[in-house]
């Protein structure tokens, strides 16, 4: 039988039962490979369930740095009889299946290599307590894999020691389970596996973390003092991360009191209301949610837009519509955020593509929101938010100061002859605001969502209202100055074809572009990072004959947004859409594009198309 052979390029997948304690063992494998200096992208594929249903954990390791999801599994650790059939079918020819051979099975595939480890029997012989037996089973396969793939055992021992810091008693039995697996493989499974990890230093200066952890941390660094949220997958861990880092960094040493507020609201109507209330008072505040929460928040978003109150909203997108696929990923709230709320509204969006950008955009979002006095959406998704990514370390410049925008102090007010809350004093559409309690006689006004004039007085004069709406639009049109610019995958355009993508698609893009080039279809690519779009975005579209728009939604929402905001011939856009809830793959992008290009240019050779 042929055996797949590969060094530092493979996909390993674990099929487990939800709630069986497998998560930390699988995580350990991912970290083990990462600490071997090989970039990894672990992905949790889990049901909307707490215990009992199948869950999967997929790790792609790639020294080339290709970290998008890849269909087809090279090594399957099948721990869940419930999903055996499906799991076995997924294995690439020549690939490997490791299963718990305490109960022998037939798998009816001649083209794969079956690796038998009697995990349960080994644990039953060694450990007394039935509950711990179940947990140790997971470590036994970690040990076996350590041997099979040549991942240094010491790395795992170190990871166990770190994990049980403070509960030292647990270290020995965990190491024992690990050794059991290792020794069993060493004795019985010599040369069973040709997929190997070969130590490198490609992860120096890199971290392995998820976007929600990074986003919560970014909020702490960005000076957010209030987090009001309501639990919803996949955003919950962002709020929790904020709390975790606040507990570390924001508790006054002397008084023991908090320099932050963390409020689990009764629903999303309240969480956004609280965030708006705090920002109205000049305390940086945010909420984190996902699609259903966004729907509930839209009325308040319109108020913040029209009354010009900063607020930051993290939308960790999941599969929609409605409750949809709460534990799967999509980029399907582009339009519902860009135009959230009734009436003429448009909102600033930041679209991070990895945890590092989640950190940076989170911190920046507060400056942008304060500067523009408007809601800012940070549009992440489940793939970035909940999966660990190999990404560069976080950075912070200590000289950086928060931009709190145009807020008048008592002194400012004292010097001013007159002031109007909604006056365009600087000609940039951004008015000056005051915070409650600043001055005993000046600067108080009535914030309202009903039509108002430059002095915040209630008016029903259509002309005044139109003037105000136009000023808000002007402010929006100047917003791109404060937003992250698009990123280009090439220094200069080399192709007549362009490709636009955004967000978590980044993980698959370099691989796809390399595949396209190798197939004779080189393409210029641009990653959009914010809305409203800047001139660079329009120029890129202008400069290409046609443009592929890669999105993880059904309706080509980014295309709709670009068509509605820019002066573009719709014929120019060709959509590549993936919306099955799994992170998009390079193969899917490349194959779709090659198919379209071959169709489009049947008369030309690949060389001519270039």
Partner 1 sequence: MTYIIKPVNHHPNLEKNALGLTRRDYEGTISTLCAGCGHDSISAAVIEACYDLSLASDQIAKLSGIGCSSKSPSYFLNQAHGFNSVHGRMPSVATGANLGNQDLLYLGVSGDGDTAGIGIGQFMHAARRQLNITYIVENNGTYGLTKGQFSATNDQGSKSKYGEENVLAPIDLAAMAIQLGAGFVGRSFSGDKDQLVPLLKAAMKFKGFSLIDIISPCVTFNNHVGSTKSYDHIREHNESVSSLDFVPIGQEIKTSYNEGSKVDVPLHDGAILTLEKLSKKYNPLDKGLAVQSLNEAEKNGKVLTGLLYINPEIKDHAEILNISDTPLNQFSDKELCPGSNKLAKVNASLN
Q: Which of residues 411-470 bind partner 1 (CB under 8 A)?
A: 417-421, 434-450, 454-458
How close are the terminal C-alpha atoms of the chain, in Å?
A: 42
**8-47 positions binding partner 1, by CB under 8 A:** 34-35
Among residues 30, 270, 349, 472, the one that binds partner 1 under rule CB under 8 A: 270
Q: Which two tokens stand for residue 186?
A: 């060493």
Q: Min. distance of Cβ 472 from partner 1 in angstroms?
A: 17
CB atoms near residue 156 (< 10 Å): 27
CB nearer to partner 1: pick between 74 and 367: 367
Separation of alpha carbons 28 and 155, rounded Å:
9
Residue 517's contacts (CB-CB under 8 Å, 6 or more residues apart) are: 523
With binding defined as CB under 8 A, does residue 63 bind partner 1?
no
Torsion of the alpha carbons at 577, 580, 585 and 589, rounded to the nearest 10: -20
Q: Across the strands, what pairs with 40?
A: 61
Three-state secondary-structure class, residue 512 = helix
Q: What are phi and psi of 28, to 5 degrees?
A: -65, -40
Instruction: Decide whether 279 or 369 has the Cβ nearer to partner 1.
Output: 279
Which one of 397, 545, 571, 599 is in contact with partner 1 (CB under 8 A)?
A: 397
Q: Is 389 in the site for partner 1 (CB under 8 A)?
A: no
269, 571, 280: which is closest to 445 by C-alpha? 280
Burial of 162 (0-12, 13-18, 19+ CB in 10 A): exposed
Site for partner 1 in 217-236 (CB under 8 A): 217, 220-223, 225-226, 228
**Residue 291 Cβ, how far from partner 1 at the closest point, in Å?**
20
247 binds partner 1 (CB under 8 A): no
CA distance 529 to 87: 36
To the nearest whole angstrom, how small is the minimum distance from the Cβ of residue 157 to partner 1?
Answer: 17
Stretch that binds partner 1, among 265-273, 491-499, 567-575, 602-610 (CB under 8 A): 265-273
Output the smallest distance, CB 225 to partner 1, in A.
Answer: 4
Stretch that binds partner 1, among 110-118, 245-253, 466-474, 570-578 (CB under 8 A): 245-253
Q: How far apart are CA 268 and CA 166, in angstroms?
A: 38
Q: Which of 602, 583, 594 is nearest to 515 (CA)?
A: 594
- Which stretches of 3-143 are assigned E, i.e. beta strand? 5-7, 9-17, 40-45, 54-62, 73-78, 91-100, 113-117
Residue 156 or 245: the one with the smaller Cβ distance to partner 1 is 245
To partner 1, the closest distance from the beta carbon of 365 in angstroms equals: 15
User: Which three-class secondary structure state does DSSP give residue 381?
Assistant: strand
Q: How far is the CB of 390 from partner 1 (least distance, A)?
A: 10
Residue 260 interacts with partner 1 (CB under 8 A): yes or no: yes
Determine if 538 is a binding residue for partner 1 (CB under 8 A): no
Alpha carbon 101 to its chain's center? 37
**Among 62-70, 397-405, 495-503, 554-562, the segment contacting partner 1 (CB under 8 A):** 397-405
Structure tokens of 512? 């796809």
Q: How far is the CB of 464 from partner 1 (least distance, A)?
A: 14
Scanning 212-220, 463-471, 515-523, 559-567 for contacts with partner 1 by CB under 8 A, the matching segment is 212-220
Of the candidate spans 261-269, 373-381, 490-498, 554-562, the one that interacts with partner 1 by CB under 8 A turns out to be: 261-269
Residues from 474 through 513 that contact partner 1 (CB under 8 A):
none
Is position 607 an interface residue for partner 1 (rule: CB under 8 A)?
no
Do 564 and 338 contact (CB within 8 A), yes or no?
no
Binding test (CB under 8 A) with partner 1, winner from 48, 132, 203, 519: 203
Q: How many CA atoms lie within 13 A of 58 on its CB side?
A: 20
Choice from 107, 164, 339, 394 touching partner 1 (CB under 8 A): 394
Query: CB of 502: closest distance to partner 1 in angstroms?
Result: 25
- Phi, psi values for residue 397, rounded to 5°: -95, 115
Choice between 3 and 457, CB closer to partner 1: 457
Q: Scanning residues 300 to 359, which ones bind partner 1 (CB under 8 A)?
A: 300, 303
Reading the block at residue 73, the tokens are 């599994």
Smallest separation, CB 414 to partner 1 (Å)? 12
Nearest distance from C-beta of residue 282 to partner 1, angstroms:
4
- What is the bridge-based pairing of β-strands 546-551 and 497-502? parallel
Q: Is the peptide bond prior to 469 cis by the omega test (within 30 degrees of 0)?
A: no
Residue from 138, 271, 512, 530 binding partner 1 (CB under 8 A) = 271
Report d(CA 19, CA 33) in Å as an integer. Answer: 24
Select the span of 70-78, 128-136, 207-215, 500-508 touching partner 1 (CB under 8 A): 207-215
Judged by CB under 8 A, which of 7, 189, 269, 568 binds partner 1?
269
User: DSSP states of 177-191 as a string?
Assistant: HHHHHHHHHHHH-TT
Alpha carbon distances (Å) from 369 to 96, 172, 278, 346, 373: 51, 51, 13, 13, 5
From residue 147 to residue 186, the character string flagging contacts with partner 1 as x (rule: CB under 8 A) and all else as - is ----------------------------------------
Minimum gap (Å) between residue 167 Cβ and partner 1: 18
Cα–Cα distance for residue pair 262/239, rounded to 1 Å: 8
């Amino acid at each position: 039988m042929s055996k797949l052979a590969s060094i530092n390029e493979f996909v390993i997948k674990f099929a487990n039962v939800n709630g069986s304690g497998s998560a930390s063992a699988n995580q350990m494998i991912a970290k083990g490979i990462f600490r071997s200096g090989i970039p990894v992208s672990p992905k949790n594929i889990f049901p909307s369930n707490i215990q009992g249903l199948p869950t999967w954990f997929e790790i792609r390791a790639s020294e080339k740095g290709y970290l998008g999801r890849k269909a087809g599994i090279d090594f399957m650790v099948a721990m869940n009889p419930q999903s055996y059939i499906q799991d076995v079918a997924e294995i690439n020819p020549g690939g490997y299946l490791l299963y718990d051979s305490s109960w022998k099975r037939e798998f009816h595939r001649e083209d794969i290599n079956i690796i038998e480890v009697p995990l349960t029997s080994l644990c039953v012989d060694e450990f007394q307590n039935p509950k711990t037996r179940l947990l140790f089973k997971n470590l036994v396969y970690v040990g076996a894999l350590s041997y099979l793939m040549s991942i240094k055992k010491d790395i795992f021992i170190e990871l166990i020691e770190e994990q049980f810091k403070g509960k030292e008693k647990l270290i020995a039995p965990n190491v024992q389970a690990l050794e059991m697996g290792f020794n069993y493989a060493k004795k019985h499974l010599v040369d069973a596996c040709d997929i190997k990890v070969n130590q490198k230093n490609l992860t120096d200066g890199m971290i392995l973390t998820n976007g929600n952890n990074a986003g919560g941390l970014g909020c702490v660094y960005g000076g957010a003092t209030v987090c009001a949220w309501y639990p919803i997958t996949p955003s919950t861990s962002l709020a929790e991360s904020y709390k975790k880092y606040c507990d570390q960094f924001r508790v006054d040493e002397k008084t023991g009191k908090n320099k932050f507020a963390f409020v689990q609201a009764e629903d999303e109507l309240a969480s956004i209301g609280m965030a708006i209330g705090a920002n109205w008072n000049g305390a940086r505040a945010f909420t984190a949610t996902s699609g259903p929460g966004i729907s509930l928040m839209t009325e308040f978003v319109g108020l913040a837009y029209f009354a010009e109150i900063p607020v930051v909203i993290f939308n960790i997108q999941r599969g929609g519509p409605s409750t949809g696929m709460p534990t799967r990923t999509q980029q399907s709230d582009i339009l519902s955020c860009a135009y959230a709320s009734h009436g003429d509204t448009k909102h600033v969006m930041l679209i991070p593509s990895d945890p590092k950008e989640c950190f940076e955009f989170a911190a920046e979002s507060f400056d942008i929101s304060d500067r523009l006095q408007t809601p800012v959406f940070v549009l992440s998704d489940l793939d970035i938010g909940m999966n660990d990514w190999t990404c560069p370390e976080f950075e912070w410049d200590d000289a950086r100061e928060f931009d709190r925008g145009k807020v008048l102090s008592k002194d400012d007010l004292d010097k001013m002859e007159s002031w109007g809350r909604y006056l365009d004093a600087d000609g940039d559409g951004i008015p000056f605001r005051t915070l409650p309690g600043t001055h005993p006689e000046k600067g108080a006004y009535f914030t309202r969502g009903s039509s108002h004039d430059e002095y915040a007085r209630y008016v029903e004069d259509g002309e005044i209202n139109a003037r105000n709406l136009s000023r808000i639009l002007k402010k929006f049109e100047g917003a791109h100055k404060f937003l992250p610019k698009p990123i280009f995958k090439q220094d200069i355009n080399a192709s007549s074809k362009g490709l636009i993508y955004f967000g978590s698609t980044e993980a698959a893009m370099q691989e796809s572009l390399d595949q396209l080039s190798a197939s004779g279809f080189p393409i210029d690519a641009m990653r959009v990072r914010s809305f409203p779009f800047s001139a660079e975005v329009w120029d890129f579209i202008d400069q290409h004959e046609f443009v592929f728009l890669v999105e993880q939604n059904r309706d080509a929402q980014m295309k709709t947004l670009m068509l509605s905001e820019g002066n573009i011939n719709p014929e120019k856009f060709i959509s590549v859409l993936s919306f099955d809830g799994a992170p998009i793959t390079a193969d899917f992008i490349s194959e779709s594009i090659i198919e379209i290009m071959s169709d489009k240019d049947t008369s030309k050779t690949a060389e001519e198309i270039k």
